[in-house]
């Protein structure tokens, strides 16, 4: 009981921090949502059309491209963070943009991280549409554009599921945002990096409060994903 009391006290204090809308907790939460939502939106703008092109057009090496995308699902995130750090640093080709240790750099890094995931899931979603339906649409006199649009609409819920999964991966990411963002208080600190820092400093109440919020966001994503998949 004695060993458990600090944990219980930490939970009580964490709930108090959330209920009273502690400024630091609110700031970190808003920044996390802003960075991850923006990265997901930008990644979707690139990945969804690219995934559709891969699905609808036959070209040499298509299977290799799809296999590569699926392999990149398991790419260690710290490797992505390292590569982006080198590209955005002063010695890198994009150092002039001065994005290192800024929310903008974190957004770019998370975008790069989840683009392969969204592209691969888009291809999988479109592949799940019955090919007979595609042939029927064409046989009914639909143009190529109408055929593509109709099939994408048929797969829209599966595509939306992929986007939600991409957001879930982005907001739960710690390695890339730690390397590129630097976990700077008031500037680049987000939920995951703040949890890691406060835990190492034995500030358990803050860690638990941020962890509860992160779990709530993850739960919200899962509920939304479940509702979309039912459709």
pLDDT, mean of each 10-residue run, the chain (231 residues): 65 90 94 95 93 86 89 89 95 93 96 94 84 72 74 84 91 93 94 93 90 91 82 66
**What global pTM score does this model have?**
0.88
Of the CA atoms within 13 Å of residue 19, those in its CB half-sphere come to: 6
What is each CA distance from 166 to 16, 37, 39, 46, 125, in whole angstroms? 31, 10, 9, 13, 14
With beta carbons less than 8 A apart as the criterion, state whether 109 and 94 touch. Answer: no
Helices (H), the chain: 5-19, 23-56, 62-72, 77-88, 103-127, 131-139, 144-154, 156-171, 175-181, 191-200, 204-230
pLDDT for 1: 39
pLDDT for 229: 72
pLDDT for 4: 54
């Amino acid at each position: 009981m004695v060993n458990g009391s600090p944990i219980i006290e930490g939970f009580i204090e964490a709930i108090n921090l959330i209920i009273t809308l502690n400024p630091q907790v609110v700031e970190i939460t808003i920044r996390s949502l802003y960075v991850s939502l923006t990265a997901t939106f930008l990644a979707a703008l690139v990945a969804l059309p690219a995934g559709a092109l891969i699905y609808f057009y036959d070209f040499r090496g298509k299977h290799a491209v799809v296999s590569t995308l699926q392999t990149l699902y398991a790419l260690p995130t710290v490797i992505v963070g390292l590569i982006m750090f080198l590209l955005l640093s002063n010695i890198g080709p994009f150092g002039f943009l001065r994005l290192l240790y800024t929310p903008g750099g974190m957004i770019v890094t998370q975008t790069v991280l989840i683009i392969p995931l969204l592209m691969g899931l888009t291809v999988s979603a479109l592949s799940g549409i019955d090919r007979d339906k595609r042939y029927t649409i064409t046989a009914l006199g639909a143009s190529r554009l109408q055929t593509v649009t109709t099939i994408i609409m048929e797969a829209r819920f599966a595509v939306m599921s992929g986007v939600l999964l991409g957001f879930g991966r982005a907001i739960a990411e710690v390695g890339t945002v730690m390397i590129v963002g630097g976990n700077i208080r008031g500037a680049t600190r987000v939920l995951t990096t703040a949890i890691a820092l406060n835990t190492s400093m034995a500030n358990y109440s803050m860690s638990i409060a941020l962890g509860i919020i992160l779990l709530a966001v993850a739960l919200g994503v899962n509920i939304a994903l479940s509702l979309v998949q039912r459709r």
